[in-house]
Each structure stands twice: as C-alpha cells, then as structure tokens.
Chain A
Amino acid sequence: GAGVSQSPSNKVTEKGKDVELRCDPISGHTALYWYRQSLGQGLEFLIYFQGNSAPDKSGLPSDRFSAERTGGSVSTLTIQRTQQEDSAVYLCASSPQQIETQYFGPGTRLLVL
C-alpha cells in the first residue's frame, strides 16, 4: 500500500514568511510524528499525535512552530515568520497504535533565505 507522503518535497522561502508543510500518514495509522533534521545531524523530535489524545508538543522549538492533525489523518506543520536557522529537512512518520516501529515519509527540505 501507499507509504507516508509529504509535500512539498522542497520549499524555498524568504526570511519572515510563513510556511506550511503537509504529511499524509499511512491509512489507519493512529500515531503521527514530526521531526527536524539539520544538515549532518540526527533527528530532533518536534511533536507527536496519538489518536484523539492531546498532542505532545514538547519538542517544538518556539511558539513560531505549530501543528495540527485534522480528522486523525493529514497533518500540517506551520512555521511562522521563518528564520534562516529553520532551514532543515522536516520528516514525518506514522505508526499503528501500540506499535513501536515508525514509517517515515521522504521529508520536506526547507531553505530559508
């Protein structure tokens, strides 16, 4: 079946602009995760959605970052007033309930000029 998809694949924006990144998880997966990966670095946890529970936002680096998940499926990560340090690859992953393995999308490469 279809895997996790993310759009856009690449995004170039100007400093100060807002951006929205989209994630379509695998159908039926109740858990959805957002990570950020800076060049040559590991994955930094941002936010975690599990079913209808309140999301775990403990990894969001500032109040410029927010995410929502509509209808328990598609998720949007929004970065307001982008800064150059926001440049990174943003990865989304999903997993079935009570399953530890995460399935990753191809990521969105964000470049803030």
Chain B
Amino acid sequence: SQQGEEDPQALSIQEGENATMNCSYKTSINNLQWYRQNSGRGLVHLILIRSNEREKHSGRLRVTLDTSKKSSSLLITASRAADTASYFCAAGGSNYKLTFGKGTLLTVNP
C-alpha cells in the first residue's frame, strides 16, 4: 500500500494567502520529502526533513513532521501564482527508495 497520502487532493487560494498541505504515511521512515510537479512532467525537490527533526524552513516553505502521528505538513506562505503546481510528499526509508503519495493540486489565483 502507498506510504504518503496527501490532503487535500486539491486546494485553490488567492495570491498572498498561505497554503497548507498535509501528508500521512504508514510505516517507519528515515526522512520525509516534498516535491513539486508542473504540468505533469518532472518533479523538483523542495525540502527534506529527517525523522529526528520536527520542523524545517526553506524560504517561504515550512515543513513539520510528527512521527508519533506519522504525518507531515507543508506550508507555503505568501503564495504566488507561480506556486500553482502539484505537490507530492515522499516517504524515504533506509534503502533510499521513496514512496510517493497522489499529490495535492494547488491553484493560486492572481
């Protein structure tokens, strides 16, 4: 069964608002990663948080990880139209394989 499951499946917000996406996973992880995909093509790595970390920041991105609840969240602050994309979480095990969720489609309206 799939590890990462994102929530919501789709999110539509206005430019300048914050966007929050959640991810749940099922088994133990080594790390939890977030990727972005534009137009159904290649994915771009955004941020990685390790299992012993609780929060991490990168620019306008903030990721939290709660291993007791097996969940993570991605917050994008002050969203821009260019942030419109699909966002995927990926659960990483010790063998460097990633298990991806189905993604959240974020639409940021100008």
Within 8 A of A (CB), among B56-90: 88, 90
B40 at the interface (CB under 8 A from A): yes
Please tell me if the beta carbons of B2 and A42 are within 8 angstroms of each other in the complex. yes
With known contacts A42-B88, A43-B100, A104–B33 Cβ distance under 8 A: no
Please tell me if the beta carbons of A43 and B42 are within 8 angstroms of each other in the complex. no
Return B91 CB to nearest CB of chain A, in Å.
Answer: 11
Please tell me if the beta carbons of B102 and A100 are within 8 angstroms of each other in the complex. no
With known contacts A31-B96, A42-B88, A42-B102, A100–B30 Cβ distance under 8 A: yes
Please tell me if the beta carbons of A42 and B100 are within 8 angstroms of each other in the complex. yes
Please indicate the chain B residues that have their CB under 8 angstroms from the CB of A106 in the complex. Answer: 41-42
- Contact-size category for B: 20 to 34
Give the nearest-CB partner of A59 in chain B. B97
A87 at the interface (CB under 8 A from B): no
Give the nearest-CB partner of A98 in chain B. B96
Please indicate the chain A residues that have their CB under 8 angstroms from the CB of B40 in the complex. Answer: 37, 39, 89, 107
- Contact-size category for A: 20 to 34
Please tell me if the beta carbons of B43 and A45 are within 8 angstroms of each other in the complex. no
Cα distance A108–B40 when bound, in Å?
11
Please indicate the chain A residues that have their CB under 8 angstroms from the CB of B99 in the complex. Answer: 45
- CB 8 Å contact bits of A79-113 with B (1 = contact, 0 = none): 00000000001010101001011111111000000
Cα distance A113–B21 when bound, in Å?
36
Q: Which residues on B are within 8 Å of A, measured CB to CB?
A: 2, 4, 30-31, 33, 35, 40-45, 48, 88, 90, 92, 95-103
Contact sample, A vs B, 24 pairs, CB 8 Å cutoff = A4-B42, A31-B96, A33-B97, A35-B100, A40-B102, A42-B100, A42-B103, A48-B97, A50-B96, A56-B95, A56-B97, A89-B40, A89-B41, A91-B42, A93-B43, A98-B96, A100-B33, A101-B45, A102-B43, A104-B35, A104-B42, A106-B41, A107-B40, A107-B42
